[in-house]
């Protein structure tokens, strides 16, 4: 299985399916354990991620690592990725066509890793994976069960850097996530 993921990640690194490939330094396929119960999905790489080719390595990544640590989960034991694999210019939100271009990559990662829970972080990740109708203000901290997958919805760690009140909210959300992880393990 990991061989297939490595091959997929090589395809992502070379991808030129949308305009984001024109301005990126590095595509960011994702990283972490290939045999994990938990996959975390954010929006898009930022400047630091684009420079290093790794997801969540800036301030939002440090906060995410702290959140994981607070529930006893090592970052290396989960898989972290984004709905788009290249940085949008000026850190703008990914456009619909960019999300659609990357969607098969994310779907294949989910299929190969087959996590028990997929944590969707932020409105764009939620909309891209679950569709409209899941407002984060109402859905954060909740489990969403589809026919074949279990999702958990929370804010994007970067949002907590701009709105400090979300740090406590996300800390509580991750405690709920921890309980869900224990129940499915």
* CATH number for 172: 3.40.470.10
* Half-sphere exposure (Cβ direction) of 123: Cα atoms closer than 13 Å: 9
For 99, phi then psi, to 5°, come to -65, -45
Domain containing residue 68: 2-184
Residues 94, 96, 98, 104, CA torsion sign:
positive
Query: For 32-49, how does the pLDDT look when each residue is reduced to its tens digit (9 = 90+)?
Result: 999 999 999 999 999 999
pLDDT > 90 fraction of the chain, expressed in percent and rounded:
96
Query: For 39-94, how does the pLDDT look when each residue is reduced to its tens digit (9 = 90+)?
Result: 999 999 999 999 999 999 999 999 999 999 999 999 999 999 999 999 999 989 99
CB 142 within 8 A of CB 117: no
Run of H or E residues at 79: strand 79-82
Tell me how far apart the alpha carbons of residues 133 and 139 are, in angstroms, rounded to a whole number: 10
Instruction: Name the domain count of the chain.
Output: 1
CB 134 within 8 A of CB 142: no
Three-class secondary structure of residue 136 per DSSP: helix
């Amino acid at each position: 299985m990991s061989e297939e993921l490595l091959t997929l990640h090589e395809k992502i690194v070379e991808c030129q399916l949308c305009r984001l490939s024109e301005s990126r330094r590095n595509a960011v396929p994702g990283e972490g354990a290939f045999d994990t119960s938990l996959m975390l999905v954010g929006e898009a790489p930022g400047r630091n991620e684009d420079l290093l080719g790794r997801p969540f390595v800036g301030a939002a990544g440090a906060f995410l690592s702290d959140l994981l640590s607070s529930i006893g989960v090592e970052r290396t034991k989960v898989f972290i990725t984004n709905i788009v694999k290249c940085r949008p210019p000026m850190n703008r939100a990914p456009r619909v066509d960019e999300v659609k271009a990357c969607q098969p990559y994310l779907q294949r990662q989910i299929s190969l890793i087959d996590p028990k829970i997929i944590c969707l972080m932020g409105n764009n990740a939620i909309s891209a994976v679950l569709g409209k109708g899941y407002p984060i203000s109402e859905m954060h901290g909740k489990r969403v069960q589809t026919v074949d997958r279990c999702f958990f919805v929370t804010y994007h760690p970067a949002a907590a850097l701009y709105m400090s009140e979300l740090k406590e909210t996300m800390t509580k959300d991750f405690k709920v996530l921890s309980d869900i992880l224990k129940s499915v393990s």
